[in-house]
Amino acid sequence: MNQNKESPRKPQEGLFTAISVGFTLLLLGTLFVTTPNLFGSIIDFFKDLGLVDVPNTDIIFIGPESLDLHMTVYTAVGQLSIAVALFEFVMLALRFVIPSSWAKRSETAGNLVYWTGAAFLVQAFLIDSQHWFVFWSAIIIVVGVSLIARAAVNAISRI
């Protein structure tokens, strides 16, 4: 007697999932092929993590001990963020062309806001000015803004 209360998945959602998984694999493969020694750079980044002083506070927290040694990783993360933001834009457009639920449209809109913000923040705070803790504080703000964007699209769907 235990019935599934969820509505059945629409056929196009499987298509969107396949496109997303394929794009993710393609993107990751491309990043590793086009960025020399990316894997080694990522390992070096994690080896460099340690307890460091948070500027202008008496707090010690986890962060890279030498920020400037990891530009390869920051650049790859920035490129990944830009590519995912562009992909989310295309997916959002597709969700309007190929009718999709408003919940999925709002999720994609929130993802678009997040990845666009992340791309900007990586460039501004990791590559240009190397402010590790400011970057993470700003990412938290972007998460909040993306949730608000998602809620706004949900609200529009109810009008």
Instruction: Characterize 30-42 residue by residue with b for buried, 16 or more Cβ atoms within 10 angstroms of its Cβ, and e for exposed.
Output: ebeeebeebeebb
Q: Is the pLDDT of residue 9 over 70?
A: no
Average the pLDDT over 135-152 and give the result: 97
Query: Residues near 69 by Cβ (< 8 Å), separated by ≥ 6?
Result: 44, 48
Closest by CA to 96, choosing from 113, 108, 111, 112, is: 108
Structure confidence at residue 71 as a pLDDT band (50, 70, 90): very high
Q: Is the pLDDT of residue 119 over 80?
A: yes
Q: What is the CB neighbour count within 10 angstroms for residue 150?
A: 21
Q: Is the pLDDT of residue 114 over 50?
A: yes
Q: Is the pLDDT of residue 56 over 50?
A: yes
Q: For position 103, what pLDDT does the model report?
A: 92
Whole-structure pTM over 0.95, yes or no?
Answer: no
Q: Tokens in use for 45?
A: 């980044």
Q: Is the pLDDT of residue 83 over 60?
A: yes
Q: For position 157, what pLDDT does the model report?
A: 86
Average the pLDDT over 56-78 and give the result: 94
DSSP per residue, 81-142: HHHHHHHHHHHHHHHHHTT--HHHHHHHHHHHHHHHHHHHHIIIIIIIS--HHHHHHHHHHH
Q: Is the pLDDT of residue 151 over 90?
A: yes
* Placement of tokens 């240009």 in the chain: 128
